[in-house]
Amino acid sequence: MDAVIQTYQLMKKFKNETVLKPLDFTLKKGEICALIGKNGAGKSTFFKILAGQQMPSSGEIHLFGKSGRELEKAKRRIAFMVETPAFFPDFTAVQNLEYFRIQRGIVDKRRVYEVLEIVGLKQEKKKRFRDYSMGMKQRLGIALCLLGNPDCLVLDEPINGLDVEGIMEIRQLLKKLNQENQITILISSHILTELNLLANRFVFIKNGVIVEDLSKVLLEEKSKKQILITVDDSAKAVQLLERANADIQLKVLPDHEIAIQNHVENSGKLNRLLVENGVMVKQFSIKTLDLEEYFLGLVGGDQHD
């Protein structure tokens, strides 16, 4: 397994409050992993510790298999956007990136233009930063991350405050970086629906604890449509449904309610089958499991970072 980031029992305390409980986490090479939780769940604290902006109270971090004295060198292979980068408002994109290129000791002057092209700002290179839209500012932030040719990006809430178009642009950019440049991405947000279109792994955090870790496939399993039927005789209804459809997947719920996980496209036929065979159908509905609701329940709470 190619592990990019590994944490072992990572913990952070502020005075009497434990913001991160002992956390074991592994980010594998090639993943786009979404860290999801409400504000104050511990996402930003975790990212700041990874970036070296805060020290953990206890625990260990390994980057690309390196730890201890080798950690600082390994950290150069990761670019962090944990807080909004402080760009000069009167500078153009080129001037801003040129400043950071010199500051960071990056020799290749062409890299500034390369990263602007990657993030789609090549045409806007003469516009002053203060005239940028929020989406353009975020893309310039990602361009800054890419200056040093990183193998991994760690992005804290990069789509926060963006409009629909801006969110779509960032999503397409991150997918491109992952697929074409083989950059591993760890991204945090509380906007599950958007991350569902981007990530291939979903880690949910609440009160500094990972409460769920799902692959894309498992997440989609949880969001499938299902048929809900309330009848007068659930035993008879189940018998009829199973006899007519050998592959039917159903669950009998309390109060004579039946949940059917497949055959959603044949809902009309199933309803008719029951009615024609003397089963009284009191309620019949098709419901998509609400992921947002499910996971808000999972990561809910009113904490503060």
pTM above 0.85, yes or no: no
Which CATH number does the domain housing residue 87 bear? 3.40.50.300
In a domain, 305, yes or no: no
In a domain, 300, yes or no: no
46 and 150 both lie in a single domain: yes
Q: What's the rounded mean pLDDT across residues 30-41?
A: 89
Is residue 305 pLDDT above 90, yes or no?
no
In a domain, 168, yes or no: yes
Which CATH number does the domain housing residue 254 bear? 3.30.70.1650
Is residue 70 pLDDT above 90, yes or no?
yes
Question: What would the 3-class secondary structure string for 6-66 be?
Answer: EEEEEEEEECCEEEEEEEEEEEECCCEEEEECCCCCCHHHHHHHHHCCCCCCEEEEEECCE
pLDDT at 304: 37
In a domain, 298, yes or no: no
Residue 84 domain boundaries? 3-221
Q: What's the pLDDT tens digit per position in 170-228?
A: 999 999 999 999 999 999 987 777 888 899 999 989 889 998 898 988 877 776 778 88
Domain end, chosen from 164, 193, 221, is at 221
pLDDT band at 297 (very low <50, low <70, confident <90, very high): low
208 and 92 both lie in a single domain: yes
Q: What's the rounded mean pLDDT across residues 18-40?
A: 92
Rounded to whole angstroms, how far apart are CA atoms 252 and 274?
15
100 and 211 both lie in a single domain: yes
pLDDT at 183: 97
- Whole-number mean pLDDT of the chain? 89
Nearest Cα to Cα of residue 12 among 51, 80, 59? 59
Percentage of the chain lying above the pLDDT 90 cut = 61
174 and 277 both lie in a single domain: no
74 and 44 both lie in a single domain: yes
222 is written with which tokens? 């949880």
260 and 126 both lie in a single domain: no
In a domain, 297, yes or no: no
Sign, Cα dihedral of 155, 160, 165, 168:
positive
pLDDT at 116: 95
Residue 160 or residue 230, greater confidence: 230
134 and 152 both lie in a single domain: yes
Q: What's the pLDDT tens digit per position in 137-170?
A: 999 999 999 999 999 999 998 988 888 888 899 9
pLDDT band at 19 (very low <50, low <70, confident <90, very high): very high
141 and 26 both lie in a single domain: yes
pLDDT band at 249 (very low <50, low <70, confident <90, very high): confident
235 and 144 both lie in a single domain: no
Q: How many domains, in total, are found in the chain?
A: 2
